Structure 1
Amino acid sequence: MKVNYQYPSPSMCFQQENLTVLGLSPDLSREEKVSFIGRLKHPLVYRDAMLMLREIVISDMGHKKKERVEFYAWLENEIKRRVLEHEKFMPEVRDKLSTQMNELVKDLEKKESEIRKLSQLKNDLQKNIEDKDIWKEYYKIERDFWSFIRTRDIALWWILDPVITVHPDQISFEAFSLDESTYGCLSIDRQEFKTKGTPKLGTTNIDFSAKLAREMARFRTYTQVELSINPEGFTIDSGIMPEYLEKKIDLPETWIKGFNQVSAAACLEGIDIELNPIDMYDICSFLRRHKARKSPRDMRWILKPNKRIKIILEPWKKTLELTAVYKGNTYREERIWGRRRWLVLEKIIPITESFIVRLLGFGMPQFIIANMGSFKMTVGFTSWSANDWVKGTAFNVLAGFIGEGNYDKVYELMKEKRVLSMTEINESLDDFDEETNRSGIGMLLRRGEAYYDPLIKKYRFRHLCNVPIPEKLYEVSELEKNVESHIKQPLGNLHIEVNADQQLEVSNVYTIRGNAHTLTILQFDQDRQISKVKCDCREFKRGSKNISSPCSHILALYITSMNFLNFTFEPEKEYNIQDLEEIIR
C-alpha cells in the first residue's frame, strides 16, 4: 500500500526562553489538521515511555534466514567443472608437476639473494607510501559513515512513523514493531499537561527520527519540556523557513492488517494478573542474564488460587516465585512463548507503579498494561516471534465482529463522539440490534478507523493511514462467512455438561458438505476461559489442534456459548437447548 507523508519540517528539540520545546511535525496530507501545545508535568516519565515506544518500533526478534541461492548455484556448477577437469587431465598432471618442481628448485637457489634485496626495498617503499597515502584514514571514515546511516534510521522511520491521536481526554502514541509481533500504545491524560490554546482533535503521523530520540534522552529533572504538535513546522531562530520533508513509502500489507488485528484481540476476555515492579524486574533480569540455546523456550505460569504465582522458565527448569497472588477460582497453567520480547519493558520498570498482565489462553496473545500515574503503556505480544498478528487466531470472529454490520452509522457516531463504549453505541443506535452494532464497530477496527482502549473498555476514533485502506485488507474472509453460516444452523444437538467444579463442556454437531456432520467440543474452566478445544473436521486436524488455530466450527460454537457462559448451572448436570431456553425465560 503506497502512502505519501508530508511533514512541514523535521521534528526537533530546541530552546525557547526557559523551555525545551519538543516539536513534533504532523503529516499535512491528512484531512484532520492536528495541533496541541502543552507543558509536561513529568518530562522524565514521558522521556522513558517514548524511548520504550521507539524500542518497540525497531524490535525484530524473528529468526532471519540468509538467502544464498546464487552461491549454491555457483557451487554446484563449480563442483561439476572440477570433477570434469580432474577426470580429463589427471593422468598427465603428475609427470608434468614433477618436472616443473625440479626446475623451480634450481631457479629458487639462484634468486634467493635477489628476493632478500627486493623484500628490503619493498618494506622501505611501504613505509613511504603509508606516510603519504590519502587513504590512510579510509576505514575509520567508512565506519563513521555507516554509524551515521544506522543512527539516522532513515529507511526504518519511513515505514514505521508512530501514530499520534489527540483525544478529548488524552493523547495517545501508537507504534508497531518491525517484525509485526509487538504493539505499543502510550496514553497520556490531558491533566498531565499545562495546555496552551485550544487543541485540535484528530490523528496524524509524526516525524520521529533517531536524532529526536537522542535529544529526548537528554531530558533531566530540571528540564522544562513543552510538547508542541504544530502543522506549520519548526525552525531554529535563523530567519530560514522550515525545511519541507516528504516521505513516499510502500507500507507492507501485513503491517497494516496486523496493526488493525490488535484491537480485536484486545477485546477478548482473559485472566488479569497484577504484578508490582519488583516482580517484573525479576522476570526481565533473568531473561537478560540467560539466553536459551535449545527448546523449549517458554514461560510456564503456575496459578493456584490465593497462592503466590510461580513461573517456570524452560529449558533451565528455573522457578521464579513472585510476590503477586493469584485471585482466580481454579488452578491453571499458562504457557507463553516469545518471552524475550518482554525485555522491552525494562526501560519503564523504575517509573511504573504496577503492571497488569492479561493472559488470553494457550497460543493466544498477551497484553501488559503499565500504570505510570497519568501515563499508561499498553503492550501487546503475539505468542511466537515468528508469527505476526495476521497469521494468528481469527480475532475478529472470537470478538464477535462478524460481517460489516451498520458500518456507516457507527462511523458517523464515532466521528462525532470520538470515544464510546459498546453500551453507549447500542444506546445511541437503538434502531439496530447489538450484533449489528458490534459488527459495525468491528468493521471500523478492520479499516483502521478506530482502536480499542482496554484501560477504559471503550473504542476510540482514529484513522491509521492518511489514505483509505484497500478493500482486500479488510473484506470479510471466507472463514467468517463459514462461521456466520454455522451460527444459523439449528441448535438441536447443543449440549452443556457441568461437573462438580463448575467446569463446562459445550458440544454441538454441525452439518458440513451435504449430509456429513462434525462434532465440536469446547471446555471452559471456572473462570469461563477456554481450556480445551476439539473438532472432528479435517480443517482442525490439519492445524495445530488448539485455540491458536481454530476452525470455523469452533469459532461458531464459541460465539454461541457466549450467550450461556454467565448462567448459573447446577453441578454434575447436563443441559440441552430446551433447558437453556427455559433458563432464559
Structure 2
Amino acid sequence: MSTETNPVPATESFTLRYQQPSDFHQDAVELFTHLERDAVQFAGKVKQPIAFREGLATLFAVVSSDYRYVPKDRAAYTAFMQMRRSSQNQGLAKAYRAYFDWLLRNDPQAWLILDPIISVHPDGLLLEVFSKDEGCYAALALDNAFFETQGQTQFGTTHIDFSQELAQGIEQIRSFRDTHFTVGKDAVNFKTETAPALPDTEVIEKRIQVPHTWIRGLLQVQSASQLPSDTFFLKPIDLYNALRHLRLHADIKGKKRGLRIELVPNQPPRLVLEPKDVVIEGSAEPYQGKQAKVIRLWGRRRLSLLKRFLPFAETIEVQVLGNGMPSFWILSGAGMSLTLAVTGFTASNWSQALNFDLLLPRRTETLKELKTVVAALQKTYVATLEDLAADTQLSEQVCRTALQQASQQGLVIYDLAHDVYRYRPLTQEPLDMAHFQFRHSAEKLAYDLVARQKAIRPLQLNVIPLEGTEIAADITVKEDKRDYLAKLKLTEEGQISKASCSCHQIMTHGLSQGACSHLIALRITYAQQQANRNLSIITHETRLLTRRHKQQQEQIQVTLNQKRLLISRELNQQNKQQQFAFNSVQEARHAYLGKIAQLELSGFIEG
C-alpha cells in the first residue's frame, strides 16, 4: 500500500538523572529520585523487614524478566568485561556512568526499560515496574501502617534508581536488625559515608531509548485493569501447588502449555495445567459468577515471579478478561499487596498483541470531563469512583470513561488491590498520544482501510469444528490500483494459527517482518462483525461444552446445520450421537440455543 504517511518515531528518549546511585548501607535502603521531576520525599522505619525485602526482590525479578529468545553472544560479554576492568577503580558513581555510556555506544537495545515508578500518596507508597518483553507488570503497595514514619513526607510521583547492586544489597536485610527506608532526591536521613562514594559527586545520568511499543504496552495493561472481568479467589497453597508442579515438570515441546481456569457457579475454581490436564482444586470460596465458563491463559511460567512474595500473602484475588487476554493476580498481606498483570504474550507476538488492542477502547478525542476529573484527583492523589463523581458533579459513567482515557494517557492508574484511582503521571511532561495510538504504521493503514467504504469485501467464513475459523476477503486498495486476497485461520481461543496475503510484503518475507495492513484489517473487520453478531440469524455453528467428573471429562458437541441439530456426547471413551431434523431453520436454531442453555444450567462449561 503506497499511501503517503508521516513516519512515526520508533522510540522515546528519556534522560534519567540521579544525585547518587540508590544504595543499601547500614541497614538503610536509600532510593534516589529523578532530579528533573517534582520533589518526592519519604522516610520511615520498616515494621516487617523480611516482607519488605521479598516484595522489592519480586519487583526486581519482574523488571529484569525477559522471556524472548536471545541467542548466545560471547562478543558482547567480552566487551563488557573489558569496560568493567577499565573502570573498576573509578568509584561507584563513575563506574555507573561508564556502564551506561558503554551500553549506549555498544548495545542501545539492552536497556529498554525505565527505572521503577514510585508514588508517595496519603495512604502509602506504590512502586510499579514493567518487563521489557511486555509480558508482565507489577505494582507493590505499602500502606502507611507498614512503616513508622520519620520526618517530613512530600507526596508525588517520580522515577527511582534501581540496579543489580541495589538488589544484591537488599538481600542483606534481616529480621533481627532495624531497617530504615528513605526516598528523595538527596538522602533524607542516614547519609552514607562509604569510601567508594565519597570522591564521586557527579550526577549519574542514564540516557535510555524506550520503544513506543513498550510505553504503549504499559499504558494498555493499566487501562485493561478497568475493563469488565471474571473474578475468583484462591488460597496461597493453591497457587503454590500449581507453581510446584511447573517447577518439577518441564514443558513438552510441541504440546500445549496453557493454564485453563474452570469456573462453575457455586463451585471452587479449578486450575488445569496442560498438556496432561493436571487438575488443582481451589480451596477458597466458590465462584460467584452466574455462568459457567472456561478461560485459557498463556504465560503461566511468569507466575513463578510471585514465589518469594507468596509466603506473605493471605488472600489471592484473580481477575481474568478472557481467553489469552491479560490476567491480574492480586496478593494481599498485612499492610502490603502485590498486583501482577500477566499479558500472556511477548512484544514479538503480533497476533496476541492485536487481540489485546481490539479489547481496549480507542477514544482519542479530548474530553473536557477528563481535565475536570484529573484535576479533582490531583488534589487528593487517591479517590474512589464514587468520591470523584461527587466532587465533580458528574455521573459515574462519565467519570469512568474519563478515567479510562486518562489511564491510556499515562495520567491515572487504577489500583486493583484497594479499588481506588490514583493520580500518577508517567512522565514529567505529557506524552504525545499521536505516537501511541497505533502500534506501528501497518496498524494505522489497517484502520484506514476498515473505515473506507467497500474497501473490504464481505467476509468468507468457514467454521471447522474443534479447530477454529477460516476467514478470507478481498481488500481493495485504490492507491495500488489492485485487490489483495487476505486469509486468516483463528483457533477457538482467538489465536492466529495461519495467515497469508497476496501483497508483496507477505509474498517476499512471510510473517518475519510482522503482519501487513491487509491481514490486520481483516482481523479488525472480523472482530467488529463478531461483536455485532446476531444470534437470531445464525444457520451454522458448533459449540463444545465440558463437565468434569473428578479427573474425567464429559464432553458434548452441539452443532447447528441449517434444519438439523446434531448432538455428540463423549464419556469414558464412549461416543453417543443424536440427530434431529426440523421443518425450518428457525425451529432448529431455537432448539440449538435451548440445548446450550440447558447444558450450562446443569454445570457444563463452553470451551
Report the TM-score, using the length of structure 1 for normalisation. 0.66
Aligned partner letter, 2:338: M
| Counterparts of 2:239 and 2:460, CA distance in 1 | 42
C-alpha deviation, 1:516, in angstroms: 8.1
Equivalent residue in structure 2 for 1:416, among 379, 389, 399: 379
The structure having more radius of gyration, on CA atoms, is 1
Contact kept? 2:112, 2:211, Cα under 8 Å:
no
The alignment partner of 2:270 has SS state of strand
C-alpha deviation, 1:190, in angstroms: 1.3
Alignment-derived partner of residue 184 in structure 1: 138
- Specify whether residues 315 and 202 from structure 1 end up closer, same or farther in structure 2 by C-alpha distance, changes over 3 A only: same
Equivalent residue in structure 1 for 2:263, among 292, 297, 303: 303
C-alpha deviation, 1:14, in angstroms: 2.1
| Counterparts of 2:280 and 2:396, CA distance in 1 | 44
C-alpha deviation, 1:314, in angstroms: 1.8
C-alpha deviation, 1:396, in angstroms: 7.5
C-alpha deviation, 1:350, in angstroms: 1.3
Alignment-derived partner of residue 471 in structure 1: 433
Contact kept? 2:264, 2:293, Cα under 8 Å:
yes
- Specify whether residues 39 and 519 from structure 1 end up closer, same or farther in structure 2 by C-alpha distance, changes over 3 A only: farther
| Counterparts of 2:169 and 2:305, CA distance in 1 | 20
Aligned: 1:259 with 2:266: no
Equivalent residue in structure 1 for 2:28, among 14, 17, 21: 21
C-alpha deviation, 1:335, in angstroms: 1.2
The CA deviation string for residues 304-324 of structure 1, in whole angstroms up to 9 with x for no partner, is 333343333222333333323
The alignment partner of 2:45 has SS state of strand
Alignment-derived partner of residue 601 in structure 2: none
Aligned partner letter, 1:197: G
C-alpha deviation, 1:456, in angstroms: 3.0
Matching of residues 226-241 of structure 1 within 5 Å: 226-233=180-187, 235-237=191-193
Structure 1 segments unaligned to the other structure (5+ residues): 68-137, 487-509, 521-531, 562-570, 573-585
The alignment partner of 2:157 has SS state of strand
Of Structure 1 and Structure 2, which has the larger fraction of its residues in helix? 1
Alignment-derived partner of residue 457 in structure 1: 419
Report the TM-score, using the length of structure 2 for normalisation. 0.64
| Counterparts of 1:25 and 1:390, CA distance in 2 | 39
The alignment partner of 1:37 has SS state of strand
- Specify whether residues 213 and 515 from structure 1 end up closer, same or farther in structure 2 by C-alpha distance, changes over 3 A only: closer
Contact kept? 1:369, 1:378, Cα under 8 Å:
yes
C-alpha deviation, 1:297, in angstroms: 0.9
C-alpha deviation, 1:202, in angstroms: 0.7
Alignment-derived partner of residue 39 in structure 1: 45
C-alpha deviation, 1:457, in angstroms: 2.8
Contact kept? 1:403, 1:476, Cα under 8 Å:
no
- Specify whether residues 307 and 265 from structure 1 end up closer, same or farther in structure 2 by C-alpha distance, changes over 3 A only: same
Aligned partner letter, 2:178: Q
**Which protein, 1 or 2, shows the higher relative CO under an 8 Å CA cutoff with sep ≥ 6?**
1
The alignment partner of 2:113 has SS state of helix
- Specify whether residues 55 and 145 from structure 1 end up closer, same or farther in structure 2 by C-alpha distance, changes over 3 A only: farther
C-alpha deviation, 1:145, in angstroms: 6.3
Contact kept? 1:364, 1:547, Cα under 8 Å:
no
- Specify whether residues 231 and 41 from structure 1 end up closer, same or farther in structure 2 by C-alpha distance, changes over 3 A only: same
Aligned partner letter, 1:8: Q
Contact kept? 1:181, 1:387, Cα under 8 Å:
no
| Counterparts of 2:67 and 2:175, CA distance in 1 | 34
Aligned: 1:336 with 2:297: yes
Matching of residues 374-385 of structure 1 within 5 Å: 374-385=335-346
| Counterparts of 1:427 and 1:543, CA distance in 2 | 48
The CA deviation string for residues 58-78 of structure 1, in whole angstroms up to 9 with x for no partner, is 1111234689xxxxxxxxxxx
- Specify whether residues 36 and 325 from structure 1 end up closer, same or farther in structure 2 by C-alpha distance, changes over 3 A only: closer
Structure 2 segments unaligned to the other structure (5+ residues): 1-11, 89-94, 104-109, 462-467, 476-485, 497-522, 535-592, 595-607
C-alpha deviation, 1:28, in angstroms: 0.8
- Specify whether residues 394 and 302 from structure 1 end up closer, same or farther in structure 2 by C-alpha distance, changes over 3 A only: closer
Alignment-derived partner of residue 524 in structure 2: 551
Aligned partner letter, 1:306: N
Of Structure 1 and Structure 2, which has the larger fraction of its residues in strand? 2
The CA deviation string for residues 120-172 of structure 1, in whole angstroms up to 9 with x for no partner, is xxxxxxxxxxxxxxxxxx9xx989969x9xx9896566833111010111200
Contact kept? 2:272, 2:279, Cα under 8 Å:
yes
| Counterparts of 2:383 and 2:30, CA distance in 1 | 30
Alignment-derived partner of residue 7 in structure 1: 18
The alignment partner of 1:9 has SS state of coil
The CA deviation string for residues 366-404 of structure 1, in whole angstroms up to 9 with x for no partner, is 110001221100000012346579963576874656233
Alignment-derived partner of residue 268 in structure 1: 227
The alignment partner of 2:282 has SS state of strand
Contact kept? 2:332, 2:417, Cα under 8 Å:
no
| Counterparts of 2:389 and 2:178, CA distance in 1 | 44
Matching of residues 415-434 of structure 1 within 5 Å: 415-430=378-393
Aligned partner letter, 1:343: S
The CA deviation string for residues 275-313 of structure 1, in whole angstroms up to 9 with x for no partner, is 111111101111111111322111222333333433332
| Counterparts of 2:264 and 2:345, CA distance in 1 | 25
The CA deviation string for residues 80-100 of structure 1, in whole angstroms up to 9 with x for no partner, is xxxxxxxxxxxxxxxxxxxxx
For the aligned residues, what is the CA RMSD? 4.3
Contact kept? 1:7, 1:27, Cα under 8 Å:
yes
Contact kept? 2:51, 2:312, Cα under 8 Å:
yes
| Counterparts of 1:388 and 1:459, CA distance in 2 | 30
Matching of residues 32-181 of structure 1 within 5 Å: 32-64=38-70, 159-181=113-135
% same residue: 27
The alignment partner of 1:198 has SS state of coil
Alignment-derived partner of residue 506 in structure 1: none
